[in-house]
Every structure is written in C-alpha cells, then in structure tokens.
Amino acid sequence: MTTSIDTLPQVVSQALTDALEVAAARHRHLCPRQVLGARCAIAAARILSLEVPRPDKRLLVISETDGCFVDGVEAVAGVSVGRRTLRVEDYGKIAATFVDVKTERALRVAPRLDVRQRAHDYAPEQTRRYFAMLHGYQRMPDEELLSFQWVKLTKPVAAIVSRAGARAKCESCGEEIINERELLQDGKILCQSCAGDAYFSVESDPQLIRRS
C-alpha cells in the first residue's frame, strides 16, 4: 500500500511542511522524531479545535521526552518553556499531552507501536530504514500513525501553571521558591531539594569557588 503526502488534506500538508522547515532549521537537518512531534501537534490541535501556533497561553503541552520530538511540537504549536506553555516530564517516551487550558480537556498523543515497521509502506522508494521513517511519517494518515487517549491530569492546570508573583523561602537553605513549588514537611516550608528530592548533591562550598 502506498500513498503520497499530496493525498493528505491540503491544510495539514502545508502546516506540516511549514513546521518541518522551522524544526529542521534548529538542527540543520530533519529527523523522524521532529516529524512525529509535528504530526502529534497538528492532530491534537485539530481534535481540540485549537488554532496553532498559539499567540496566547491557552494550549499547554506536556512532553514525555526532550530532544528532537519537542522541536517538532514547538514548531507547530508555538509553545515554549520560556512562555510556560511547554513542560517536559521525562519518561523517555515519544508522546505528549495537549491541554486546552480553558476547558482542561487533555489529549495524549503518541505514535502507534508498529509505525517503524509500517513506514516503509508509505515510502517504498527509500531503501534505508531511517529515510523510510523520515518520509513515511510525513505521509501516513493520522489513524495509522498515531494513537490518541483522552486523559485527566493528576493535578489541575492551575496547580501546574501556578500564578504570577507566587514566592516562598525555603527554611533550610534560604533560597527563594517560585511558582508554588514549595513543600510543607514537618511544619517547615522547604524547597524540593531540601525535602529530599534533589537531582544533585553539593560537592563543595560555593564560597570556595568565589575565592579561587
């Protein structure tokens, strides 16, 4: 079975083409995961009835990996970490949840499990698997490329996004905590590091670094 990107709806193929140009410019090349990120975002926006790229903060995307996949998502959706419309929960999965902040509807989108094997059906002219995926992912219909799940976030959107100006002070290290990320432990306000969930351990006194 073969098909062409020209058989896709014109609005989708043009949106994909434009997004892939943006994503490829960041790496000086285009890779299959950028295509998957772009396809996930285009499909999610269509299902959620949201225009993309967003000039506002109505769309929140939670990606389950970092890297090239996220570049494809960003290129379509207009979300970013800096605007606090993109978050990465690194599960090591090529998947993302797209949240309509206004309605709190959340749609998780991921590639189907067999897409690597099926990509060649849509790019038979490609003899190398990498290029079969690169081109096949652009041509496969949504229903064959992607899986969709309506999900409910374990935290409300308001708690994830927080509010402007929210500040607290850790009673252990004294550092400021923003975005309501402090924890209350044994009656003390603590940052997540001091509460025992640090991604680092202190190796030296920063005063020594400044004096060296």
Q: Which domains does the chain have, with CATH numbers?
A: 5-159 (3.30.1330.130), 163-211 (no CATH)
pLDDT of residue 27: 78
Name the E strands within 131-212: 146-151, 167-169, 176-178, 183-185, 188-190
pLDDT of residue 4: 40
pLDDT of residue 28: 81
Q: 165: pLDDT confidence band, cut at 50, 70 and 90?
A: confident
Helices (H), the chain: 10-27, 32-48, 68-77, 115-122, 129-139, 142-145, 157-161, 206-211
Directed axis angle between helix 32-48 and helix 10-27, to 10°?
140
pLDDT of residue 15: 86
Q: For residues 196 and 41, what is the distance between their CA atoms, to the nearest angstrom?
A: 35
Nearest to 123 by CA among 114, 134, 115: 134
pLDDT of residue 136: 95
Q: Is the pLDDT of residue 203 over 70?
A: yes
Residue 144 tokens read as 């064959």
Question: 25 or 50: which carries more pLDDT confidence?
Answer: 50
Contact (Cβ atoms closer than 8 angstroms) between residue 54 and residue 86: no
